Amino acid sequence: MFKKSISTFILFLLTISYAYGDKVKVGMITTLSGGGSGLGIDIRDGFALAVKDEPNIEIISGDDQRKPDIAVQLADKMIQSDKVDIITGIVWSNLAMAVVPAVVNQGKFYLSPNAGPSLLAGKKCHKNYFNIAWQNDNLHEAAGGYASSAGFKNSFIIAPNYPAGKDALTGYKRFFKGSIENEVYTKLGQTDYAAEIAKIRASNADSVYFFLPGGMGIAFIKQFSQAQVDLPLVGPAFSFDQGILKAVGDAALGVKNTSQWSKDIENAENKKFVEDFQSAYGRLPSLYASQGYDTGKIIVSAMANASIKDMDAFREALKNAPSQGFKSTRGKFSFSSNHHPIQDIYVREVVEENGTLTNKLISSGLVDHSNFYVDQCKM
């Protein structure tokens, strides 16, 4: 009798926790070695943290080494021999452009935890493609809006000469009401900005906006500060993220930057995420980690409401996750018709907190912000 009731109880537990007990295989293609690996490692760790209590998710990881051809090979291998259901993890827009169309056309889901190139939001959008982070232009649009509201009239803007760099400056200009003193495109991967900073010093600009992800941004902020150019600097969160602030040092203090996430956004989910991440990995989470975490949680939520075997139902469950139990670390979150987030984008300031440089929220820049490409997307 006792045995029987125990087994019934266990059976009962099983039925509630695994409404649809089908295993979901997730292919995690991200940058784990070489330059830029900090971003990929954060996405992977955030994702793993989100799904650690969900035994029906199996993660298969692969290191794309930041190279499009390797990412494509990994995706092929994961789809053909590992038979994954969902692929996620890619950090860089150029890699996403190489991988995503092939993945979604083969009837697999792709959930982007970072890259959001405009083409995938607009003309090349797809019903199996979801972006959990942002459309590439979003943070820059918020920065343009912030610069206007801060009273800047004339900006010097700078970005690398590649598609995401052009998207960035386009996004900034879309929401900035002032004039543009000069628009400079630098070589991708350039790390010496002496020539550009001399130009900035000689210009009549009253503010500088830059989008220089990774090491480029570290180099730019340090050199800008060392050159003692007395102009306010505005940037997207990428150059002021937790992993980067350590390397930039005090040069970043006081700089305003825009982000959809910050570790001090007040909601229960975010509080739990920041605490769990710190205790699991011994470091503060970055926005990349939060995006990986949200991606994991969306999958967990969709699994509770649909079976991966039924693609249409699972797609609906992903799309409706924000109203069916998924709670984003960012607070308000829903999907636009082209499967990109509708969310608030905040303005943060770099401050020193107990001897560590970090970000503090100072205002909400854009509220319930969607993206510019919704109308171009025909699913």
Which residues contact another protein by CB under 8 A? 33-35, 37-38, 41, 161, 166, 183-187, 189-192, 194-196, 198-199, 201-202, 214-215, 218-219, 222-223, 226-228, 243-244, 246-249, 251
SS3 76: helix
- Nearest approach, Cβ of 57 to another protein (angstroms)? 24
- Nearest approach, Cβ of 259 to another protein (angstroms)? 18
- Nearest approach, Cβ of 172 to another protein (angstroms)? 14
- Determine the Cα–Cα distance for residues 21 and 329; give it in Å rounded to an integer: 26
Closest to another protein by CB, 71 or 248: 248
Closest to another protein by CB, 192 or 310: 192
- Nearest approach, Cβ of 270 to another protein (angstroms)? 22
- Determine the Cα–Cα distance for residues 303 and 119; give it in Å rounded to an integer: 29
- Cα→Cα distances 120→98, 231, 318, Å: 11, 36, 18
Q: Which residue is associated with the tokens 């080494």? A: 65
Q: Which residue is associated with the tokens 């005090």? A: 250
- Nearest approach, Cβ of 229 to another protein (angstroms)? 10
- Cα→Cα distances 374→93, 124, 337, 368, Å: 19, 11, 7, 14
Closest to another protein by CB, 13 or 198: 198
Closest to another protein by CB, 127 or 166: 166
- Nearest approach, Cβ of 275 to another protein (angstroms)? 21
Closest to another protein by CB, 124 or 222: 222
Tokens of 302: 């969709």
**Pairing mode of beta strands 129-131, 154-160:** unpaired
* Contact between residue 212 and residue 158 where contact means Cβ atoms under 8 Å apart: yes
SS3 217: helix
- Determine the Cα–Cα distance for residues 339 and 135; give it in Å rounded to an integer: 10
Closest to another protein by CB, 199 or 271: 199
